[in-house]
Structure 1
Amino acid sequence: MSTGGGPREGERREFGEGVLGRATAVVYWYLIVEVLLMVAVLPGALASLFLDRAPGNAPLFALCLVPVGPAVSAALFALRDRSKAEGLTPASSFWRGYRLNWADALKVWVPGLVLGLVILLGLANVGAGGVPGWFAGVLVAVGVVLLLWLVNALTIVSFFGFRTRDAARLAAHFLGARPLVTLGALSLLVLAAGIVALTTEALFGLLAAVWLGLVLRNAGPLLADVEERFTGGS
């Protein structure tokens, strides 16, 4: 009979197997992904600090946002990879996702930025040059649909190797085909806008990995549908 106070043979646990260990592992994974996400967008973020908040600088702000697309894709990839990784390797998962997806992410992100820029410039000119005031509502609605499409598109290209036009079509298709996912994404966009409006962009940046985790969780049915219907479940 064992008289020691330690665990008996067969009862030893590896780190991460207990409740506290699992919780610590999740926090660690999200923390590292958050840090790497911030590193990936840092060049654009620093450049934006030197720009005045004026409509004329909108194209330069859009240029500063270009690194965000690949970084978000890499973060989504890493967060989903947590359930499949054999160890605590969030950095490896992040950079693998970045390497695999940066080009596809840019192919949907950059056109989205250009369209968003056109919408913002349109809003800035409402009331001038004969543009009617009601047109602002139309532009806002189009902007919201664009953001929802971008969420779907970035999520899809982060996990599937579709051609850009096919990924774009799927992203648009699932806006209507998965209304609950779309509603959830809209709620998360409202949450993000609320955090930025009530605090600062910096605070939202510090919470970005958690927010993306919620985006990924919300997109679960969409990803399962894409895998089953368009990849044969492979």
Structure 2
Amino acid sequence: MSAIDTGRRFGTGPLARVASAVHTFLVVGVLLLLTGAPGLVVLVLLDRSAGNIPLAAACAIPAGPALSAALYALRWRSNDLTDLEPARAFLRGYRMNVAGVLKLWVPWLAWEAVLGINLAYGRWTVAVTVLALLAALWQANALVIASLFAFRARDTGRLAAYFLVRTPGVTLGGAGLAVLAAGLVLLWSEAVLALAAVGFAAALLRTSRPMRAEIEKRFVR
């Protein structure tokens, strides 16, 4: 069957594009859950106590590479509606980025765990909350950069901090996503957040467009 025949078979209209997007989201969402499952299962079973915060942070370690792979797969989704292989893109992104992402993800989790313990015991509540939010926004930028570009870890960290100020719209969008994610966990559970993770990845990819465009223009040769 020729490429033209294949295109006609699958269609090129709005319905075909919606079906392609839904297929991609479902596949990426399932793979994201599977790769993050080792920590998620334990995390959901943990009591919400200050003593479990370090363990909760450790359980979240697999989520970093999983989110990175999801960002990669969603970003490089083919415009060819007959090329429905999001699983291949996800796995390629996971292999390429796992080491680089963990270099930034693990220290960030450790820092958030320290802040979380202080917050749980009511120490410097306002300052700790602000620091935790800033760290989360920095990590959101770093995750996008590490997932889509090939910089060294320290350069990724510097760019993530730089764009917190350089692109306020991206930072504001990230803040909204962080508040929404925290709300889902507080009102329901980590499992609900995990089920919605692919949607958060897509939203993060969209809000980060100005940052990605400037990186491609100024820092990528």
Please report the TM-score for the alignment, with normalisation by the length of structure 1: 0.87
Structure 1 residues 50 and 202, CA gap change in structure 2 (3 angstroms): closer
Q: What secondary structure does 1:161 align onto?
A: coil
> Residue 25 of structure 1 aligns to which amino acid in structure 2?
S
Q: CA deviation at 1:59?
A: 1.3
Q: Residue 104 in 1 paired to residue 100 in 2?
A: yes
Separation (CA, whole Å) in 2 of partners of 1:175 and 1:14: 46
Query: CA 1:154–1:178 in 2, change beyond 3 Å: closer, same or farther?
Result: same
> 2 CA distance for matches of 1:176 and 1:103?
27
For 2:220, give the aligned amino acid.
Answer: T
Stretches of structure 1 lacking an aligned partner (at least 5 in a row): 1-8
CA contact (8 A) 1:70 1:101 kept: yes
**CA shift in 2, pair 1:16/1:68, >3 Å:** farther
Report which of the two structures shows the higher radius of gyration computed on alpha carbons: 1
- How big is the shift at 1:50? 4.4
CA distance in 2, matches of 1:219, 1:67: 23
2:77 is matched with which residue: 82, 85, 95? 82
Q: Is 1:152 aligned to 2:141, yes or no?
A: yes
CA distance, structure 2, for counterparts of residue 109 and residue 102 of structure 1: 10
- Cross-structure match for 1:28: 23
1:40 aligns with 2:25: no
Distance verdict in 2 for CA 1:15–1:186, change over 3 Å: same
In the alignment, does 2:104 pair up with 1:115? no
- CA 1:186/1:16 → structure 2, altered by over 3 Å: closer, same or farther? farther
Measure, in 1, the Cα distance between the counterparts of 2:98 and 2:186.
29
List per-residue Cα deviations over 1:119-177 (Å, max 9, x = no partner). Answer: 01111233xxxx5xxx2100000000000000000000001111111000000000000
Q: 1:210 aligns with which of 179, 199, 221?
A: 199
Equivalent position amino acid for 2:90 in 1: F
What per-residue deviation string (whole Å, max 9, x for no partner) do you get for residues 84-140 of structure 1? 5670001000000000000011011001001001101111233xxxx5xxx210000
What is the distance in 2 between the residues matched to 1:24 and 1:221?
A: 27
Conservation of the 8 A alpha-carbon contact between 1:75 and 1:212: yes
Match of 2:190 in 1: 201
Aligned length: 216
- For 1:45 and 1:201, the matched residues in 2 are separated by 8
Moved over 4 A (4+): none
1:229 corresponds in structure 2 to 218
Displacement of 1:46 in angstroms is 1.7
Greater helix percent: which structure?
A: 2
The higher-RCO structure (CA 8 Å, 6+ apart) is 2
Tell me if structure 2 keeps the 8 A contact 1:37–1:71: yes
- Rounded to whole Å, the distance in 2 between the matches of 1:74 and 1:16 is 28
Q: Is the CA contact 1:37–1:72 (under 8 Å) kept in the aligned structure 2?
A: yes
Q: Any gaps of 5 or more consecutive residues in structure 2? A: none
User: Partners of 1:37 and 1:176 in 2: how far apart?
Assistant: 30
Partners of 1:194 and 1:125 in 2: CA distance: 20
Contact 1:73/1:105 (8 A) holds in 2? yes
Given residue 95 of structure 2, which amino acid in structure 1 is its aligned partner? R
Amino acid at match of 1:146: A
Question: How many percent of aligned residue pairs carry the same amino acid?
Answer: 45
Contact in 1 for aligned 2:72/2:147 (Cα 8 Å):
yes
